[in-house]
């Protein structure tokens, strides 16, 4: 039997790498009246988050050129929209402080969370080549962002190869995030989804200099459920179960990870492996319980889009 090279990336571990390196307003349109007032012009060349945001491999001289492009700072209060679906794409936004969710709304008024974004991340990349934003972006807490005019940003990618490479990397991370979330929804049980989400948060916060084992959830349990494909009741039940098992401690939105190794073992169950067979190099190996002739996965796993009971 040919050897199997096991990838170190479980579906949500890939999201962690993206982190580390990654309604009532429908009739409104984006106007500068609606956006909060800006303050002093930001300075990328002196920003500690630049390495996660625009900088990448850029030199100090390149960063000083970027300083002239980032023209204003935006402040949002909790629950305030940054932009609405259908607004003209005018800027990309880099988070300096705070948390933002991106979400869409169905015809019958239901909301689907499609992303959570943290300091050092760019918002609006999913619409960078479109005339209008394809989602809503809303602050989950008081948030400060740098606004980067889209036309100036595109012009800079033509004159600074390092900026263009950074854009390609950012878009690739967005694609990885989407693939990882799709795998999570297709293969993971409810427990695995929540544990993987918590570890994703932990690693992302650690990369930004915060505690990886104790943090406050800026999103509600309902929003978490929307993102990982579970009902509010299932999310609450899984939090209680993990706490009863001694893996985490929960106090309202404050979470403490008590057994990181145990949590990682749960998240690694559906790890995707790559079979290194000569005739099938790069083929994905199915999880054992998804192969023909094996027992189905335990209750809690379901196809994407099917609500948990």
Q: What percent of the chain has pLDDT over 90?
A: 41
Span 67-97, pLDDT tens digits? 777 767 899 999 999 999 999 999 999 899 9
Q: Is the model's pLDDT at 129 over the cut of 80? A: yes
Q: Is pLDDT above 90 for 104? A: yes
pLDDT bracket for residue 36 (50, 70, 90): very low
Q: What is the pLDDT of residue 189?
A: 92
pLDDT at 13: 46
**Number of H helices and number of E strands within the chain?**
8, 14
Question: Residues of CATH 1.10.10.10 domain(s) within the chain?
Answer: 182-290
pTM (2 d.p.): 0.71
Residue 61 in this model has a pLDDT that exceeds 90: no
Q: Which CATH class is domain 182-290?
A: mainly alpha
- Please tell me the class of the 11-177 domain: mainly beta
Higher pLDDT, 104 or 48: 104
pLDDT category of residue 52 using cuts at 50, 70 and 90? low
Domain with CATH 2.60.120.10 in the chain: 11-177
Query: What digits encode the pLDDT tens for the residues 215-241?
Result: 999 999 999 999 999 999 999 999 999
Region 1-19: mean pLDDT is 43
pLDDT for res 284: 33
What 169-178 contacts at long range (C-beta under 8 Å, 24+ apart), as own/partner pairs, is: 169/21, 169/56, 170/122, 170/125, 171/125, 171/128, 173/17, 173/18, 173/21, 173/22, 174/18, 174/125, 174/126, 176/14, 176/15, 176/17, 176/18, 176/22, 177/14, 177/15, 177/18, 177/22, 177/115
List, for residues 149-203, the tens digit of each pLDDT value.
888 888 887 877 777 777 777 777 777 777 777 777 778 899 999 999 999 999 9
Q: Which long-range contacts (CB under 8 A, 24 or more apart) does 298-302 make?
A: 298/189, 299/189, 300/189, 300/190, 300/191, 301/187, 301/188, 301/189, 302/229
């Amino acid at each position: 039997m040919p050897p199997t090279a096991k990838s170190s990336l479980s579906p949500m571990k890939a999201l962690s790498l993206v982190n580390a390196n990654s309604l009532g307003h429908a009739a409104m349109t984006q106007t500068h009246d609606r956006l909060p007032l800006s303050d002093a012009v930001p300075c990328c060349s002196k920003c500690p988050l630049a390495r996660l945001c625009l900088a990448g491999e850029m030199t100090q001289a390149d960063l000083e050129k970027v300083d002239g492009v980032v023209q204003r700072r935006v402040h949002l209060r909790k629950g305030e929209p940054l932009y609405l679906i259908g607004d003209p794409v005018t800027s990309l936004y880099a988070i300096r402080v705070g948390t933002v969710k991106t979400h869409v709304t169905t015809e019958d008024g239901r909301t689907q969370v499609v992303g959570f974004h943290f300091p050092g991340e760019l918002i609006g990349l999913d619409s960078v080549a479109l005339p209008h934003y394809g989602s809503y972006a809303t602050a989950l807490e008081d948030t400060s962002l740098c606004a980067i005019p889209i036309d100036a940003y595109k012009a800079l990618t033509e004159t600074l190869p390092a900026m263009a490479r950074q854009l390609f990397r950012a878009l690739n991370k967005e694609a990885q995030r989407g693939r990882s979330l799709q795998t999570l929804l297709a293969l993971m049980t409810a427990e695995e989804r929540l544990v993987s989400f918590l570890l994703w948060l932990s690693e992302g916060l650690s990369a930004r200099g915060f505690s990886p084992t104790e943090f406050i959830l800026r999103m509600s349990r309902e929003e978490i459920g929307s993102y990982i494909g579970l009902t509010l009741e299932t999310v609450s039940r899984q939090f209680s179960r993990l706490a009863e098992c001694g893996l985490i401690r929960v106090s309202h939105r404050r979470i403490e990870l008590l057994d990181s190794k145990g949590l990682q073992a749960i998240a690694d169950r559906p790890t995707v492996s790559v079979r290194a067979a000569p005739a099938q190099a790069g083929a994905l190996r199915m999880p054992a319980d998804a192969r023909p002739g094996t027992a189905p996965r335990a209750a809690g796993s379901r196809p994407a889009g099917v609500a948990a009971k």
